[in-house]
Amino acid sequence: GAGVSQSPRYKVAKRGQDVALRCDPISGHVSLFWYQQALGQGPEFLTYFQNEAQLDKSGLPSDRFFAERPEGSVSTLKIQRTQQEDSAVYLCASSLNWGSLNEQFFGPGTRLTVL
Amino acid sequence: AQSVAQPEDQVNVAEGNPLTVKCTYSVSGNPYLFWYVQYPNRGLQFLLKYITGDNLVKGSYGFEAEFNKSQTSFHLKKPSALVSDSALYFCAVRASNTGRRALTFGSGTRLQVQP
């Protein structure tokens, strides 16, 4: 596709449910990033991958959050036992190269609401 | 730790007038600086970046930004605002001297251009 796509666009979960959010990066992009954007705030870094390797997961808020990119393309962010504070927009971004200074291209986000 | 401050939650300007959206940053070493724009229900779109070289950077849609090292600022500017420029603008920084690739974003500034 022409850009980064994310699915679902909207997700409503009951507290305690597990959710999985999908990101399809731009074809050929090596780097993939996940950010969390709370209402009225800027995006905050969660984790990133170079190909299939998760090189930084320092932003994941708890061990309930898990991300993978097994084949170096599509990525999934999984949140176990969701809590109300997990409600946010989850943004995925991809970038062409690891070592370069290419800008990150963002998807439209998945809006997660935990009831 | 790196940080970005966008001191204005909202900027109002009349169509045709010049606009400025302010951004200051804090980072160890030399910064890489970015501006993104966010329209409702859409992902962040890249506007421009400063890596090195000329302090005045020109970007998409007629926007430009001026890097000022002594004031640690990277204000976004446009000579003549359009109603269609109304959106949420985010400044972001990355340190050049670390392996960390994630961006740190400001809290955003809403630009409202009145006809």
Residue B97 has what pLDDT?
Answer: 73
- Residue B30 banded pLDDT, cuts 50, 70, 90: confident
* Residue partners of B11: CB distance under 8 A and separation at least 6: B19, B20, B21, B109, B110, B111, B112
Q: State which H helix or E strand residue A77 sits in.
A: strand A75-79
Q: In CATH, which of 2.60.40.10, 2.150.10.10, 1.10.630.10, 3.30.70.270 is domain B3-114?
A: 2.60.40.10
Residue B112 has what pLDDT?
Answer: 97
Which two structure tokens, joined as six digits, stand for B42? 């859409």
Sign of CA dihedral B84, B65, A59, A97: positive
The answer to whether A42 contacts B105, with C-beta atoms less than 8 Å apart, is yes
| Residue pLDDT, tens place only, A23-62 | 999 999 999 999 999 998 999 999 999 999 999 999 999 9
> Which residue among B46, B90, B100 sits closest to A103, beta carbon to beta carbon?
B46
Average pLDDT, chain A: 93
Q: Which residues pair with B77 in a beta bridge?
A: B20, B64
**Measured between CB atoms, does B43 come within 8 Å of chain A?**
yes
* Residue partners of B33: CB distance under 8 A and separation at least 6: B23, B25, B49, B50, B65, B67, B74, B91, B92, B93
Question: Would you kindly state where each structural domain of chain B is located, as residue ranges?
Answer: 3-114
> Which residue among A31, A44, A109 sits closest to B101, beta carbon to beta carbon?
A31
The answer to whether A33 contacts B41, with C-beta atoms less than 8 Å apart, is no
Say if CB A21 and CB A109 are below 8 A apart.
no
Indicate the fold that domain A5-100 takes in CATH. Answer: Immunoglobulin-like (2.60.40)
Instruction: Measure the CA–CA gap between B45 and B71, rounded to whole angstroms.
Output: 26
Answer whether residue A100 shows pLDDT above 60.
no
